[in-house]
Structure 1
């Protein structure tokens, strides 16, 4: 099967075409350092056979944290535990990218001691105020991404991924409804992509052209004024021109998930790969490897996406929370779909400060 064949992401050789998509683990220490619990969780994934692991969103600056248990990387003090993590992943035969991000509208003011900011000012869902970023803020944040990428390389990660999805800072700049700026960072699709492209360019200048630097973008936010496939293809093409190694496609912000066509919470086989249409449009615009995220539960679906050239890699998240060894199970000829029920209890445990785990799997283990 194609999904089990070795593949390359840039110069990085991978054992297969399965990717663990970035997932909020909520297992870092209160100071943002990598913990033994997080190392154990990611090592189990590597041992389970997934070709590439992408860490949960790692904050690149103190004001960009989403919660107190988020992994952080802006200082050399963060490196020792991360070096332990990357060595453990190598020992298990895995490959790993660090996802770098800034929470933007979703930043936790209580944790960070500073008001959240975004492309334009406004009230957040919780009623707190989000201020508009200045050009100085944009420049400092760009520099923070570049420094974090350099530190990630020093920590032994095989590459980085820039998070421009799910309504966080980069995603908000790309979205028409969130970005109402009247300067060079707002208005046209080209202007709205400017910040992201400047970040990618800064990362490239920091780590060089050969170090893998992928980008994760939204298929759409799904309000009426969300981006269409034409804008999306244009953004992907510009990312390729600026040196991205790969593009991962996902979609939706937290409030809009229920409006995603063929919502990932739908476990019917026909709902799998809910961003297929957008992926097909992007594939026509770029030669870069495309990673497709969105509700894949069955091995046959993943294979079909590759056979039909919809994508080059298939990303999973919740199925691997439920079954960290899912890829090995499939390789051993047990081809049953993932046991994940898409009940999202794993998301609730993170939000409750308990860290990432599958409640069903834990109950089963406790009953044995």
Structure 2
């Protein structure tokens, strides 16, 4: 039997297989950040994954970075997500919520009272962000004070609590893709001269404080973290990424997390080889995998679980297709963020 179809322990859960559905923004929520009934169907269709990691969910309205993305701050949002988790669990699946605070990758038109986006330092990122009125240039963010940092940490704590209220099996901290945690980690976006900037230990501090809050709410065996070293997305740059991520992963050992999720996109360094030996938790590998690459990674011990994005997006029954050698549907990139059921819940299953 392929290792893909063997059980694996991830935190407190024994997953039925080693195929994990990647967190993927789909932009199907309403303007209040409430997921629709289509979202219920979308995740339920994919419940045969060993684990689903939800699309990025903003922990607080100040963390929203894109139009039509979902939140976990209000009672209405919690109630809508409860329908999702109930549907996934009814089909025997497991689902973690990814908490995604976009930080400076946002725009005042999406934030409460037209506020500036927040960041470790007032450095304007290059590029544009998608808003309700189309693409807008990003702006110079507001530098978080130490007091405000403490409030953001508390926002993650409350979001974790609300995710569990909504029935999620656990939570993942999104510390990749140039969003707020990675903005703190990276020397190009963090030029502070206090305890949250400068040295690697100081730049890692915010992530460790957020994880501490999440673990205090959920228990360490229901918390994971995602990182993507040298992905360089959203104008993120770090002068010494190997040092940064080695130090971060070393610090994670004290947490006994459920998993560490590392997705590589274009990095010249083999961060899996660098980081996997340091990780005691389940190691989830992502980034451009197909079935053969996933099986090789599992067989060689490079990964404990393998993460698939577009393949799960277009193939709700991906494990069955891998098991039977069936052909795969191709993802329609034009409908990734388009709204509605087309390219969302209408991909055909084998049956």
Question: What range describes the TM-score normalised by the shorter chain of this pair?
Answer: 0.7 to 0.9
8 Å CA contact 1:197–1:242 kept in 2: the answer is: no
Indicate if the aligned counterparts of 1:220 and 1:226 stay in contact, CA closer than 8 A.
Answer: no
CA drift at 1:230: 3.6
How far the C-alpha of 1:355 sits from its partner, in A, is: 5.8
1: distance between equivalents of 2:115 and 2:143?
13
Structure 2 unaligned segments of length 5 or more: list them: 128-136
TM-score, with normalisation over the residues of structure 2?
0.88
Contact map agreement 1:31 1:68 (CA 8 A) in 2: no
Q: Does 1:215 align with 2:204?
A: no
1:106 aligns with 2:108: no
Residue of structure 1 aligned with 2:168, choices 140, 157, 160 = 157
In the alignment, is the contact (CA less than 8 A) between 2:253 and 2:279 conserved in 1?
Answer: yes
How does 1:76-225 map onto structure 2 within 5 Å? 76-112=75-111, 113-124=114-125, 125=127, 126-210=137-221, 212-222=222-232, 225=238
Question: Using a 3 Å threshold, how does the CA distance of structure 1 residues 77 and 322 change in structure 2: closer, same or farther?
Answer: closer
SS of 2:55 mapped into structure 1: coil
Q: CA RMSD in A?
A: 2.3
Cα 1:67–1:2, aligned 2, differ >3 Å: closer, same or farther? Answer: same
Conserved? CA contact 2:107–2:139, under 8 Å: no
Structure 1 residues 45 and 195 mapped into 2: Cα distance closer, same or farther (>3 Å)? same
Question: How far apart are 1:251 and its partner, in Å?
Answer: 4.5
Structure 1: where are the runs of 5+ without partners?
253-259, 263-274
Contact 2:4 2:298 in 1 (8 A): yes
State the Cα distance separating 1:162 from its structure 2 match.
Answer: 0.7
Q: Residue 232 of structure 1 corresponds to which residue in structure 2?
A: 245
Residues 73-107 of structure 1, C-alpha deviation per residue, up to 9 Å, x if partnerless? 12333222221111100111110000112011112
CA distance in 2, matches of 1:179, 1:251: 22
Are positions 1:242 and 2:255 aligned together? yes
Q: Counterpart of 2:14 in 1: which secondary structure?
A: strand
Q: Which residue of 1 aligns with 2:301?
A: 309
Q: TM-score, normalised by structure 1?
A: 0.84
Distance 1:356 1:10, change over 3 A: farther
Residue 328 of structure 1: aligned partner:
320
Q: 1:89 to 1:224 in 2, by over 3 A?
A: closer
Contact kept in structure 2, 1:64 and 1:104, CA below 8 Å: yes
